[in-house]
Amino acid sequence: MAISIEFLTAENANSLQRLIDDMGLGKDSGYVQRCVDKSEDKSEGKNGDCERITLLAHWDGELVGFCILNFRPAYAPFYRFSIPEFQDLNTHPDHRRKGVAAALIDECERLARERGANALGLGVGLHAGYGNAQRLYVKKGYVPDGQGVVYDAQGVKPYDIRPVDDELCLMMVKSI
């Protein structure tokens, strides 16, 4: 079985929407169009100077996963130090544990290096629903950035109370 990665474009946006719907991810109706709009390269047409790149992963031609490589992350330490962040990594449940997510991460690392980055970051949720992702990121060499947990990309101060939902994250980083 072969994994291939391609950029999201206006031409393949409908396939991403079908995957999101099939996975029941609950994205709002404008999510895919925003991904297309922010991925457009105004200078070269090759995603060379865009804010974000959305990558699509195919397993023998079938779209089975995606993620976003964000060159202007909301998390202040990443933004300040020009550390791109990969976000919203998703693999269809039928294709998990087959290397799809790892291939997407590898491609994010390659593209970030190509754009001059020397590190790549991510935020991972803290509840059990993110357990597999937490383990994968450690296996891929990502470590906590040392800033503690964040909620909606903002640092959580000692004794603050936050819900343990998808916005409560540990930020991780890797030299690339």
C-alpha triplet 71, 143, 110: angle, nearest 5°: 40
How far apart are the C-alpha atoms of 112 and 99, rounded to whole Å? Answer: 20
Q: Quick: pLDDT tens for 11-68.
A: 999 999 999 999 888 888 889 998 898 886 544 445 556 789 999 999 998 999 999 9
Enter the CATH code of domain 3-175. Answer: 3.40.630.30
Residue ranges per structural domain of the chain: 3-175
pTM for this structure?
0.90
Identity (one letter) of the amino acid at 93?
P
How far apart are the C-alpha atoms of 48 and 174, rounded to whole Å? Answer: 22
How far apart are the C-alpha atoms of 67 and 105, rounded to whole Å? Answer: 8
Identity (one letter) of the amino acid at 39?
S
